[in-house]
Amino acid sequence: MANEVVVLQPGDERAQKIARAMASQTANAIIQAFSSGPLTSSEVARQMKIPITTATYHIENLLEAGLLEVVDTRWSEKGREVKVYGLTEQVLIIAPPVSDLRSVLKKYTMLFALIVLATVGLRVLLPALLPPSPDAEPLLQRAATETGEKVSTFDVPATGAAVAPPVHDLVMGFFFGACVVLLALLVYEVFYWWRTSRRYRERLEKEQDMSDETR
């Protein structure tokens, strides 16, 4: 279990065990004592000047919570086998509760609806904000001839001048670009939901147990 990354969520059984094991200052002091190296329960009691029963009680809680592990065994002067404990090499990550997959999909459905509404709004507003395209010049000249009105040269861009892209291209570019970003976020969140799901963690634990048995 060395260098294992453990993702915990508030309320998980493992998180509750850790919280109970670390609830007292004595337990925190015992954890700090193990930072210098593996120790037996009697060595912890002597080092901290506490009763052996107190040291054993907290060590068992820390062992059950997965913060300590048995790293070795020794034989005492009386011929009894003594366990040597050490800190587990793992990284604990406290993550917020992950919503189920249905709520994730519902959220992104609403975001997609907002993108559609924004696209429709751009389609309505952009023609009024952008200058007319060069194709509109003959139409304006024809309309001026039929009505007898004079069309100002400022109303139509000159040939070869920089003209904004067509409204259709801008709107579709915004729509597809926003959809690509939304899809990337959806894939990431579904992947994170899967990695932090209880089923995935249980499968990892089973694989870890199987690998430990084969060693």
Cα gap 88→68, rounded to integer Å:
5
Question: Of 77-86, 129-138, 204-213, which one has max mean pLDDT?
Answer: 77-86
Helix (H) or strand (E) holding 92: strand 90-94
pLDDT value at residue 53: 93
Cα gap 60→183, rounded to integer Å:
47
Reply yes or no on whether the pLDDT at 105 is more than 50.
yes
Task: Encode pLDDT of 174-205 as tens digits.
Answer: 899 999 998 998 888 877 777 766 665 666 66
Average pLDDT of the segment spanning 79-94: 80
Q: What is the mean pLDDT of the chain?
A: 75
pLDDT value at residue 85: 93
Instruction: Please say whether the structural domain 4-94 has been given the CATH code 3.40.430.10.
Output: no
Give the whole-number percent of the chain exceeding pLDDT 90: 18
Q: Which amino acid is at 36?
A: S
Residues of each domain in the chain carrying CATH 1.10.10.10? 4-94
The β-bridge relationship of strands 90-94 and 4-8 is: parallel
Reply yes or no on whether the pLDDT at 3 is more than 70.
no
User: In terms of pLDDT, which residue wins out, 208 or 172?
Assistant: 172
The b-or-e profile of 122-153 (16+ CB within 10 A means b, else e) is: bbeebeeeeeeeeeebeeeeeeeeeeeeeeee
Task: Encode pLDDT of 41-82 as tens digits.
Answer: 999 999 999 999 999 999 999 988 888 889 998 887 777 888
Average pLDDT of the segment spanning 137-141: 50
Indicate the pLDDT class of residue 154, thresholds 50, 70 and 90: very low
Question: Rounded to two decimals, what is the model's pTM?
Answer: 0.43
Average pLDDT of the segment spanning 4-27: 73
Reply yes or no on whether the pLDDT at 171 is more than 60.
yes
User: In terms of pLDDT, which residue wins out, 193 or 147?
Assistant: 193
User: In terms of pLDDT, which residue wins out, 99 or 32?
Assistant: 32
Neighbouring C-beta atoms of residue 192, cutoff 10 Å = 14
User: In terms of pLDDT, which residue wins out, 98 or 102?
Assistant: 102
Reply yes or no on whether the pLDDT at 124 is more than 90.
no
Cα gap 47→31, rounded to integer Å:
12
